[in-house]
């Protein structure tokens, strides 16, 4: 079992898309995967083709009362074999304030997930576009962080902020946490993209996945259809990229790099 947090406080960089697509690619390689929607905006739940408002009990309840093991009741099947998810909706926006007053507020998600970890090969957590209580919980629960970065609109300030939160989490209780950047929405026609790749290399020093996800309209089309791109357009460049990423992920698990 391996827990990954898909994190970037910028919105629209491809977090939810990566979660659904990578999850599907891992199932194609024989893995059993759980996707955790940790965003009150419920991008992942929506991308998977579900209506967030249709769920009475969500990750919000599991997160607030980890000792009740609610996680077991909220795991749902997706349209893809061996791909499961836990839904989210706007209820989760209340969690920030409610958790902050509690002792050990940053470990609730880790505790909430613990009863089901042995049931899955991979757990991928889709973070909200902020660096608050929810994202900190995801980073505490994870062994690795995937940081999707849009190469066209690189924001160094926000990447440095994210790096500093990751360092704090390492210092305060999750020292083994490893981070790597995934370049998304890459536009091969601009020179700018090449420059940002070089800048990223400086900031993350080799901690960058080889896979490069290009910009393509197929992702928006597949989201509208409520199907991961690997199902919606199985042979598209986007689907191939996430299969390549799944291979990198399986390899890094084997070699521990």
Ligand X SMILES: Nc1ncnc2c1ncn2[C@@H]1O[C@H](COP(=O)(O)OP(=O)(O)O)[C@@H](O)[C@H]1O
Residues 80-99 that bind ligand X (CB under 6 A): none
Q: Which C-beta is closer to ligand X: that of 90 or that of 220?
A: 220
By CB under 6 A, is residue 213 in contact with ligand X? yes
Residues 27-46 that bind ligand X (CB under 6 A): 43
Strand-pairing partners, residue 85, are 35, 76
Spatial distance between the Cα atoms of 228 and 80, rounded to a whole number of angstroms:
9
Which segment (74-82, 136-144, 166-174, 216-224) binds ligand X by CB under 6 A? 216-224
Q: Which C-beta is closer to ligand X: that of 116 or that of 193?
A: 193
Which segment (12-20, 163-171, 176-184, 201-209) binds Mg ion by CB under 5 A? 12-20
- Nearest distance from C-beta of residue 171 to ligand X, angstroms: 26
Interface with ligand X: number of residues (CB under 6 A): 18
Question: In this chain, which of 14, 23, 43, 87 binds Mg ion, going by CB under 5 A?
Answer: 43
The helix or strand, by DSSP H or E, that contains position 129, with its residue range, turns out to be none
Is 11 in contact with 164 (CB distance < 8 Å)? no
Question: In this chain, which of 5, 7, 9, 16 binds ligand X, going by CB under 6 A?
Answer: 16
Question: What is the pattern of x (binds ligand X, CB under 6 A) and - over residues 131-170?
Answer: ----------------------------------------
Q: Which C-beta is closer to Mg ion: that of 111 or that of 222?
A: 222
Residue 185 interacting partner from Mg ion, ligand X, none (CB closer than 5 to 8 Å by kind): ligand X
Strand-pairing partners, residue 122, are 2, 33
CA 175 → CA 104, 139, 142, 172, distances in Å?
Answer: 17, 11, 11, 8
Which segment (76-84, 100-108, 114-122, 209-217) binds ligand X by CB under 6 A? 209-217
- Nearest distance from C-beta of residue 158 to ligand X, angstroms: 12
Is 152 in contact with 61 (CB distance < 8 Å)? no
Residues 174-203 that bind ligand X (CB under 6 A): 184-185
Backbone φ, ψ for residue 115 (5° rounding):
-65, -15
Backbone φ, ψ for residue 180 (5° rounding):
-145, 145
The helix or strand, by DSSP H or E, that contains position 227, with its residue range, turns out to be none
Own/partner long-range contacts of 193-201 (Cβ < 8 Å, ≥24 apart): 193/151, 193/152, 196/151, 196/152, 196/154, 197/151, 199/154, 199/156, 200/149, 200/151, 200/154
Question: In this chain, which of 10, 15, 214, 243 binds Mg ion, going by CB under 5 A?
Answer: 15
Q: What is the DSSP string of 15-80?
A: HHHHHHHHHHHHHHTT--EEEEE--TT-HHHHHTT--GGG-SS-HHHHHH-GGGTTHHHH-EE-SS
Residues found near Mg ion in the complex (CB under 5 A): 15-16, 43
Return residues touching ligand X (CB under 6 A): 11-17, 43, 129, 184-185, 213, 215-216, 219-220, 223, 238
């Amino acid at each position: 079992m391996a827990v990954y947090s898909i994190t970037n406080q910028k919105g629209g960089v491809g977090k939810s898309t990566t979660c659904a697509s990578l999850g599907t690619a891992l199932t194609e390689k024989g893995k059993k995967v759980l996707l955790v929607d940790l965003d009150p905006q419920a991008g992942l739940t929506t991308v998977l083709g579900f209506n967030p408002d249709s769920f009475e009990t969500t990750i919000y309840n599991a997160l607030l009362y980890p000792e009740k093991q609610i996680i077991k009741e909220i795991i749902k099947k997706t349209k893809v074999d061996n791909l499961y998810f836990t839904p989210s909706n706007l209820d989760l926006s209340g969690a920030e304030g409610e958790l902050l007053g509690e002792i050990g507020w940053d470990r609730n998600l880790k505790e909430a997930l613990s009863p089901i970890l042995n049931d899955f090969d991979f757990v991928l957590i889709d973070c909200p576009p902020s660096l608050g209580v929810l994202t900190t919980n995801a980073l505490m629960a994870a062994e690795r962080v995937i940081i999707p970065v849009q190469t066209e609109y690189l924001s160094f300030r926000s990447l440095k902020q994210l790096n500093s939160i990751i360092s704090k989490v390492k210092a305060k209780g999750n020292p083994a946490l490893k981070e790597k950047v995934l370049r998304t929405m890459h536009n091969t026609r601009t020179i700018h993209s090449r420059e940002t790749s070089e800048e990223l290399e400086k900031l993350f020093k080799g901690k960058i996945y080889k896979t490069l996800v290009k910009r393509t309209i197929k992702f928006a089309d597949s989201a509208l259809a409520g199907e991961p791109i690997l199902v919606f357009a199985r042979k598209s460049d986007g689907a191939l990229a996430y299969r390549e990423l799944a291979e990198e992920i399986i390899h890094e698990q084997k070699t521990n790099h």
